[in-house]
Structure 1
């Protein structure tokens, strides 16, 4: 008599359970489940037996902010475009990566996580020029921290080598009369070997306009003249000192700027 629908082929109806395909599958699944449970118990009681995942191939070797780099910058004076500058100085964040493995590693992403963006200085006047420097990471007007922003990158680190990757950071638009900008942030690099490497906090300064700010601060502290006021200079000198002391990785431009502001604060007040 033919088997009813769902009972399997007629020739399987009289076979013992373990000789039926579904029986073999059920037993195999049960054996696998038992083995998984046993391994779990063994790993709980003998954690040293648990297989360790393969460590990432890439590691952070060094981070520094002691370098500068000249980059290109487009600028206009009034409404007239000018020749592109090639010597626009930028502070540089430099990250050294070490690959100890036998395989090349590709860095694929860099996430900039800003905790603070600071305008540092007192007013000093304005002009008609507008600069659009070609920074690797451009911070737009109105940018507020905290904020994390990923950027795709493509950087290869050969096997058994140490390579350096560097970034320039600055304002998207730099107008005459702008104040120096200071950025406090970390960078997390992601690679195709599943590495995620995060720097210590960095304080990087856009060094432009510092000379104009210091000249205005000097006039304010010596004679009480100009756009800046002694009270503003004292406040900004204190803020600069706090930023310098906030972390170990501070750009030398900010250290020098802070020292100059605080020297001016020490001058006798104008009568």
Structure 2
């Protein structure tokens, strides 16, 4: 019976070649996103440039980490050529304290210009190879290319597209990310001491940050904690 069925199938393909199964002309890309998160801060290198002519000073700036676990199910290595970080929002948080002298330039993996707004795309070149049949983690820190002491923190909301050398891409879902964290802490210290030009703006800003966190798909842990502490600091 098995031989008869097999022979019949062969005969059908000879008479009607179009009936023979064809290889998939558009196979799925071998690289897939297994998991992603926005997690605790890590140290990144930064330089401080002063208006006084003092030589640059090295420091450690803190930053959240956006990471992705990628799986290459194919038989060949795949090269991740670049990452596009696409801003959907860049919101300045806080009330002006009126201070600021030195310029801090942090060496984040992805640096946004000071005036970057919704729709801006920052491209970071990569030369990262995923071996065949492997699963590996890539991570990014994000922040402004420079900021001034006494300046205000920002909440960046963005997605990251990882581009492969075969033309495919993997998208890390949207996150909302507080940066720079040192600036955020400085602002909280000023808010608690009411060292701002207009103290009446503090509770308004606290409510705005709270609404932002509530509406965010994936807020960073530091952003959630900043919002909670800011709300407590401005409570009547």
The residue that corresponds to 1:183 in the other structure is 156
- Retained in 2: the 8 A contact 1:244–1:255? yes
Tell me how far apart the structure 2 counterparts of residues 64 and 215 of structure 1 sit (CA, whole Å): 28
- Aligned partners of 2:223, 2:158: CA distance in 1, in Å? 15
Q: Number of aligned pairs?
A: 217
Runs of 4+ in structure 1 displaced over 4 angstroms? none
Query: How far apart, CA to CA, are the structure 1 residues paired with 2:185 and 2:41?
Result: 17
User: Deviation digits for residues 124-152 of structure 1, max 9, x if unmatched?
Assistant: 34242211111111111222222233332
The residue correspondences of 1:13-32 to structure 2 (distance < 5 A) are none
Match of 1:256 in 2: 225
- Higher strand proportion (structure 1 or 2): 2
1:216 Cα shift?
2.4
The residue aligned with 1:172 is 145
- Whether contact under 8 Å (1:67, 1:93) holds in the other structure is no
- From 179, 190, 215, the equivalent of 2:189 is 215
Q: 5+ unaligned residues in a row in structure 2: which ranges?
A: 1-16
Q: How much has 1:170 moved relative to structure 2?
A: 0.8
Q: Secondary structure of the residue that 2:82 maps to in structure 1?
A: strand
TM-score, normalised by the number of residues in structure 2: 0.84
Could you say if the C-alpha distance between residues 151 and 209 of structure 1 is closer, same or farther in structure 2, counting changes exceeding 3 Å?
Answer: closer
SS at match of 1:141: coil
**For 1:214 and 1:151, how far apart are their aligned partners in 2?**
31
- The 8 Å contact of residues 56 and 194 in structure 1, kept in 2 or not, is answered as no
Counterpart check, 1:159 vs 2:132: yes
Which residue does 2:14 correspond to in 1? Answer: none
Distance 1:243 1:107, change over 3 A: same
Residues 1:64 and 1:126: Cα distance change in structure 2 (over 3 Å): same
Q: 1:244 is matched with which residue?
A: 213
Partner secondary structure for residue 208 of structure 1:
helix
SS at match of 1:245: helix
Give per-residue Cα distances to partners, 1:35-81, cap 9 Å, x unaligned.
xxx96xx8xxxxxx675322111000111111322111111233212
| Conservation of the 8 A alpha-carbon contact between 1:244 and 1:258 | yes
Q: State the Cα RMSD in Å.
A: 2.1
Structure 1 range deviating more: 58-67 or 239-248: 239-248
Q: Pick the structure with more helix per residue.
A: 1
Aligned match of 1:96: 69
Q: Secondary structure at the match of 2:97?
A: coil
- Describe the SS at the equivalent of 1:216: helix
Query: Contact 1:61 / 1:96 at 8 angstroms: preserved in 2?
Result: yes
Match of 1:249, SS state, is: coil
Q: 1:151–1:76: structure 2 CA closer, same or farther, 3 Å change rule? A: closer
